[in-house]
Amino acid sequence: MSTSGSSSPLKIAAAFAVPVLVILALGKTLIHPTTNGAGTASAEALAVAERIQPVGLITLKKAAAGPARTGEQVFAAQCAACHKEGALGAPKLGDAGAWGPRVKNGFEALLNSALKGKGNMAAQGGGEFSDYEVARAVVYMANQGGAKFAEPAAPAAAPAQ
């Protein structure tokens, strides 16, 4: 006898149960997706916040207290990394041949390059040193290279509030 026309109750139940279980599993996955190792929802929120944060941030710092640093001190702390050895095309301290064309452009042009950056040199304005201190460093370096720039005048003290 052939059983092609009839189905056993077990086959009918399996044919019904398997699709129902698959639908339930898909529904659970869509409603409550599993984490990919990031952990809790708060960790995921932190990860999202980190990914969408601004590229650059502004931080305000208090001005350094005390007397302004000399050009030589600023050079040693900030400029020597490149200008001591002539790294990345920077004119070496004391090299009159390298400083000559720059000195011909004048102090203001050199200071502008130092404060705003030029070529491989990053801007120094707004950093650890005041514009006045950077100006003193420019005078120090240029004068070591043959310039005769005068020391810049100290900025006027801010009025007390």
| Host domain of residue 87 | 71-144
Q: Tell me if 118 is assigned to some domain.
A: yes
Does 84 lie in the same domain as 43? Answer: no
Give how many domains the chain has, as a whole number: 2
Residue 62 domain flag: no
Residue 112, in any domain of the structure: yes
> What average pLDDT is seen over the chain?
82
Residue (of 130, 81, 135) closest to 106 by Cα position: 135
46 and 84 in a single domain? The answer is no
Residue 82: inside a domain, yes or no? yes
Q: Side chain identity at 100, as an amino acid letter? A: G
* pTM across the whole model: 0.58
- In DSSP notation, 64-127 reads PPSSPPPHHHHIIIIIHHHHTTTGGGPPPTT-HHHHHHHHHT-HHHHHHHHHH-BTTBPP-TTS
Distance CA(33)–CA(20), nearest Å, equals 19
What's the confidence (pLDDT) of residue 30?
A: 77
Q: Are residues 41 and 88 in the same domain?
A: no
pLDDT digits (tens, 9 = 90+) for 1-56: 455 556 788 888 888 888 888 888 888 777 766 555 545 667 788 888 888 887 77
CB neighbourhood size of 40 (10 A): 9
Q: Which residue has the higher pLDDT, 114 or 31?
A: 114
